[in-house]
Structure 1
């Protein structure tokens, strides 16, 4: 027996709706004489990242910890702070094809939520990228205190959407998140790019 047709969509932010140009970070690293990829490596260290994703520390405090760690490479706290500030000015770009799809799905009666592991800077980012009002709900890990792929995260997201898990289709570019969603009872698609939109349209059948 097949699954019920999804009536709600939960979309990841980074890697799906928002994309990042890797040359921006690379340019900052070259300018400051840093090794390639070091900014992301430091920032994404799980011991540093997990507290900000669950709202235990602020985005600003997280970036301060990145600057402090970077000082070990540069030997100059002011240059480390300047490098991190320059890197952080770039807030990514909206994928226009995905945004068009979100608008199309909502117009077709599908509730669409943003399901993201994010910091307390998310609302400002959504505003800066012109995304305020483009989604029915925003489920930010730092606000609810739990992050993907935890079952509790997806339960909270389904509650926010007002839709049972079996009727929610989740889209993410990370395998761990996809597995977590399926454990929580959602259907899920591992995002590989806009070519997947054809499948999503068919699955939602709006």
Structure 2
């Protein structure tokens, strides 16, 4: 049976609308004598990451725990804190082509929401990136208290859009998030890059 045409679009932030330059972390790691990739590896350890994504701890507390874990390899707690602070100064860059697509979709009368597993720094990041006012709704896991790929997360996102799941198209660069959205009744597409925009336009049919 054919799916209903989507009347709302839900996009992930990191990996879709925002990109991070890996050279920034690599430069910090070299400067402080850290193993390549260790900043992200420690920060993304699930036991450390899950509490900040559900609002149990702040972004600042999360980064403090990363610095604590790096104290020995960095040569002391002060150097570890400096390394993490330098790394965190880079808040990523907006993908201009994806932003242009969002504007195009909204101009056609279709709501666009941001669906992200994020911390309490999200609002500040959106302001710094110039994205305030560019989206109809923002669904932040740390505010909601539940993260993708939970069904409750996607239900809340659809409620924020005032659109039933069957009429929402979700786009994310992670398979697990796409699977979670589909399990919650949304249409979902795994983002592979700008070449996917043609498909998304066709799916939205505006």
TM-score by length of 2: 0.99
Measured after TM superposition, the shift of residue 181 of structure 1 is 0.2
Return the alpha-carbon distance in structure 1 between the equivalents of residues 167 and 73 of structure 2: 49
Quote the residue 1:126 is aligned against.
126
Quote the residue 1:161 is aligned against.
161
Quote the residue 1:179 is aligned against.
179
Encode CA deviations 1:118-139: one digit per residue, 9 max, x unaligned.
0000000000000000000000
Quote the residue 2:135 is aligned against.
135
Measured after TM superposition, the shift of residue 73 of structure 1 is 1.4
Return the alpha-carbon distance in structure 1 between the equivalents of residues 87 and 70 of structure 2: 13
TM-score by length of 1: 0.99
Quote the residue 2:32 is aligned against.
32
Return the alpha-carbon distance in structure 2 between the equivalents of residues 72 and 186 of structure 1: 46
- Residue pair 2:33, 2:73 contacting (<8 A) in 1 also: no
Aligned-partner SS, 2:139: strand
Q: Could you list the runs of 5+ residues in structure 1 that have no partner in the other structure?
A: none
Quote the residue 2:54 is aligned against.
54
Quote the residue 2:79 is aligned against.
79
Return the alpha-carbon distance in structure 1 between the equivalents of residues 8 and 65 of structure 2: 38
Return the alpha-carbon distance in structure 2 between the equivalents of residues 68 and 75 of structure 1: 11
Encode CA deviations 1:100-146: one digit per residue, 9 max, x unaligned.
00000000011000000000000000000000000000000000000
* Deviation beyond 6 Å, 4+ runs, structure 1: none
Q: Could you list the runs of 5+ residues in structure 2 that have no partner in the other structure?
A: none
